[in-house]
Amino acid sequence: MSISLRKTGKVAALAVTAVLIGGALGATTVPMAATAVEGSALPTCSTTFHDSFQATAQDGSKYPTWHPATATDPATGVECSFGHEHGDDPSTSNIAAWTIEKLGGSATGITFGFAAHMSMMIEGSPHRHEDHYGHKVFVLNDVNLVREDREGYVTSSAGTPVTCDYLIYTHQGSHSKDALSNNQHEMLYSTKCNDGTEMVVNTLTGYGNANEYTANCDLRTVTTGGSALPNGTGGGREIPDAQCVQQTAGQFWGPYELWKSDHTIAAENGEALVRFDPWFGVRNPSRVGGGSEALATVSLSDASWTTWPWNTVTEGVQKEDPASPFDGAQRDVYVQHSTLNNAGGSTTVYTDAYGQRASSTPFDGAITQYVGAVSNADQAESERVASGFSTDYGSGNGVHASN
């Protein structure tokens, strides 16, 4: 189920259910230590078991991939918790197999960190390294696009209502100070619609500019520093800071964090070829901003705040305690534009790791991108569709910060 929001509107209290289906992958591992995850009846999974979850990218190299929050270690037959989660199981997507096919090369699955690795191939560019915890997957099946003017559905040239599937992966670390300065975060954006709109694009995507973020309550710019990453093509990172949390006096939406992407890939002639702009929300980040430093969200708790989840915080609870309600696992996603201007063009485009320098021929360090040979730029504007406002990926499975 999904709900449409006007792109200019404020976030409302929405109840949208998403389903997370997980399953263990077979692997050969050494026995794990039977160490219990605090606040969970499950032991902690071994590093060997965790690292067995891998997939191959188009370059033929293996990278980490999605795994459930809990799984049964085949070496011991014991169910265990990894202590973190990566969102929706990509295999539940209607376009899972299609996405892997379109990734091309030697790709066997959704890989975490491929575009970041390819950033090393850009001369003079800093290598973008992102931690493992922040990789998150979102699956949206059978999404009906509604016109922004509320005059019905967005329709194809044949007059048929447009329905799309989305398989999206992004890195959204809401537990560390990384995003307070660094704006470039990896994203795989895969969508397939019944009007021929389709793309599978893997890039580092700029959420606004480096060395700054936007305070979520009053939209003031907080200046930070230390990042050498390039500015993005749009979007931004609305992050709660201590001032905002205290101003909202423990309201549920006080610590809401919203990352807005707006990525354009320009063709060789300079014209916009592809545009996509999903947003990603976190309702319970485990850190908030304190200028350029990260502060544990739970450390700001005030005994006078009686609204949920603040009223569940017990004295002495620390950031990484599973008892903390702030584990970064309550997340939502918004989709709107998947714009193509490629009628009759090649479906293969090569870009650098940042989704720029688009070329019809491969070059050193290029990522192969798939874009449909159609143009939908003249379609009616759609509303932004929000999903996941009831989803908690960290419920009853030992998940805790860092996540």
Q: Which of 92, 97, 93 is nearest to 21 (CA)?
A: 92
Task: Determine, yes or no, domain membership for 91.
Answer: yes
Assign 123 a pLDDT band (cuts: 50, 70, 90).
Answer: confident
Residue type, 377: A
Instruction: Answer whether residue 34 is part of any domain.
Output: yes
Single-letter amino acid code for the residue at 26: G
In a domain, 401, yes or no: no
Prior bond of 292 cis (ω within 30°): no
Tokens at residue 318, please?
């620390």
DSSP code string of 252-302: TTTT-EEEE--EEEE-TTSSEEEEE--EEEESS-SEEEETTEEEEGGGG--
**Digit-coded pLDDT (tens) for 25-68:** 223 222 223 344 444 589 999 999 999 999 999 999 999 999 99
Paired tokens of 327: 């584990």
Radius of gyration of the chain measured on its C-alpha atoms: 21
Asked, for residue 323, whether it belongs to a domain, the answer is yes
Is 140 a member of any domain?
Answer: yes
Range 306-329 average pLDDT: 93
402 within some domain: no
Task: Say whether pLDDT at 250 is over 90.
Answer: no
- What is the mean predicted confidence (pLDDT) over 337-343? 96
The per-residue pLDDT for range 211-239, each reduced to its tens digit, is 999 999 999 999 999 999 999 889 999 99
Model pTM score: 0.90
Over residues 98-126, the mean pLDDT reads 93
Distance CA 300, CA 342 (A): 50
pLDDT at site 40: 57
Number of domains, the chain: 1
Mean pLDDT, rounded, of the chain: 89
CB atoms < 10 A from the CB of 277, how many? 22
Angle at 172 between CA 168 and CA 173, to 5 degrees: 155
Predicted confidence band at 6 (pLDDT cuts at 50, 70, 90)? Answer: very low
Sort 33 into a burial class: Cβ within 10 Å, 0-12 / 13-18 / 19+: exposed
Q: Return the structure tokens found at 56.
A: 């191959």
Length of the chain: 403
Domain containing residue 268:
3-387
183 domain residue, yes or no: yes
Element (H, E) at 198: strand 198-206
In a domain, 262, yes or no: yes
